[in-house]
Amino acid sequence: MITRDEAFTLLKKYNKDSFHIQHALTVEAVMKWYAEELGYGENAEYWGIVGLLHDIDFEIYPDEHCLKAPELLAAGGVSEDIIHAVCSHGYGITVGNGTTIEVEPIHEMEKVLFAADELTGLIGAAALMRPSKSTKDMELKSLKKKYKSKGFAPGAPERSSSVVRSSWAGSWTNFWR
């Protein structure tokens, strides 16, 4: 298996923008937290690596997101199970060339990644609109209010609404504590 340091080096090979690096680190942390929370603590590092690598192709191939990832990951020596997990977070989206991502999330970890990617993006966007530019002073009720606003993040994929709504309960709220 690829180590965390090797995964981070591979991520930085294809991602230079600080926003994309920070997003990857955030998803990594959330995935590790969820691994512990859901009883997969012995696999927390693995879950984190998947979170770290999930958008490896997005910065340089945004119109082929999740289509170029297998090539980049395989070239970096990443195993097929991680490649599947990374590609599954795009399940159901249609990318710039008209292709719909058909790699379905199967394992619980892949389903968590699907939701965590959407939620961290939502939270990050809301934080950028705050005077502090931080989540440290953000309350859940403020985030929910922002999410309900029709003008907030209008370019966000439609698929996120059902994922986000089903993820608001319990464990996501606990992550904020």
Mean pLDDT of the 104-109 span = 93
Strand partners, 35: none
Question: Is the predicted pLDDT of residue 154 greater than 80, yes or no?
Answer: no
Q: What pLDDT was estimated at residue 158?
A: 47
Q: What is the mean pLDDT of the chain?
A: 85
Q: Report residue 98's pLDDT band, with 50, 70 and 90 as the boundaries.
A: confident
> Which residues, other chains included, contact 86 with Cβ-Cβ below 8 Å and sequence gap of 6+?
50, 53, 54, 56, 66, 69, 73
What is the widest separation between alpha-carbon atoms in the chain?
A: 44
Domains and CATH numbers, the chain: 4-175 (1.10.3210)
Question: Is the predicted pLDDT of residue 106 greater than 80, yes or no?
Answer: yes
Q: Report residue 155's pLDDT band, with 50, 70 and 90 as the boundaries.
A: low
Question: Is the predicted pLDDT of residue 166 greater than 80, yes or no?
Answer: no
Q: What pLDDT was estimated at residue 156?
A: 53
Going from the C-alpha of 25 to that of each of 50, 107, 108, 141, the distances in angstroms are 11, 21, 20, 25
Measured distance CA(42)–CA(81) in Å, rounded = 17
pLDDT digits (tens, 9 = 90+) for 2-41: 999 999 999 999 999 998 999 999 999 999 999 999 999 9
